Amino acid sequence: MKTYILLLQCKDRKGIVAKVTEFIFKSGGNIVTLDQYSSNPEGGHFFMRVEFTLKGTALSKNNLERRFIPVAGLFRAKIALYDKNMPLRMGVLVSKPDHCLADILYLYKRQELNVDIPFVVSNFSKHKELVSQYKVPFYFVSSNSKDRKEKEILRIAGLSTDFLVLARYMLVLSPAFIKVYAKDIINIHHGFLPSFKGRDPYQQALNKGVKVIGATSHFVNDKLDAGPIISQEVERVSHKDDLKSLILKGRNLEKRALSDALRAYIEHRVIRFKDKTVIF
């Protein structure tokens, strides 16, 4: 038995759910879960996530996609179909801070993240010892702000990944890299976006005397810390906190925000729409 996940988005109108469920029924499928959301029933945008099972092997994923094209065409819908049991290939980029990397590897080992990790790329060579414990290939790429070595990273990442995660990778990827890679990239920013973009967000927060700090996991685009947000975590702080205590509190927030974002993405619960996301 195969389990598939269908993501759909289009302009809202009557009959979308009926046509989609009818297609699944006629294909011999059984719906396990169905989530939907409309930004406005009168002319808004409609989002849908359907998980369904299909017995036998008569219909492959490619065959299902081809057969669904006329249904999607009725609503001019954008669709994506996934095999739930087919793990995504997640490449990891990281600099010296290791807390997010360690958390990802731990969750991967416990099979709490249903992914394959074909590599970890870092500009900090000492991470090799940690990564090797999990039997994940490690590549040291001595990138820095003056020489990002993006061609070398693309050579490693290009064909072996479905998406990348920046687990505290401290260099900004260029628009050229993002365009050439042409797949999703998920970042963890150690600040509560859209406030405190760029460098030293905890120092920025301290200077502003905030009472809440946060961490944000988001998609990467060609603008600094401005991609659609997937997950955020916050914690209260007080006037007694200094930079050191903010950083310590922030590390836990970063790990939680990133792991939540990765789970949502891996489980195909994220739909991107303009500069936002719908998370089912």
Distance, CA of 60 to CA of 259 (rounded, Å) = 31
102: number of Cβ within 10 Å: 17
Structure tokens at 205: 């927060």
| Integer CA distances (angstroms), 277 to 27, 152, 227, in order | 30, 31, 10
Distance, CA of 23 to CA of 56 (rounded, Å) = 17
Terminal CA-CA length for the chain: 24
Distance, CA of 199 to CA of 259 (rounded, Å) = 22
Pick the catalytic residue: 98, 103, 225, 241?
A: 225
| Integer CA distances (angstroms), 56 to 2, 20, 28, 53, 151, in order | 8, 20, 9, 10, 43
263: left (phi over 0), alpha (psi -120 to 50) or beta: alpha
220: left (phi over 0), alpha (psi -120 to 50) or beta: beta
Q: Name, in order, each residue with C-beta under 8 angstroms of 62's C-beta and a sequence gap of 6 or more.
A: none
Active site residue 98: no
Beta bridge mates, 58: none
With contact defined as beta carbons under 8 Å apart, do 103 and 258 qualify? yes
Q: Among all residues, which ones are annotated catalytic?
A: 225
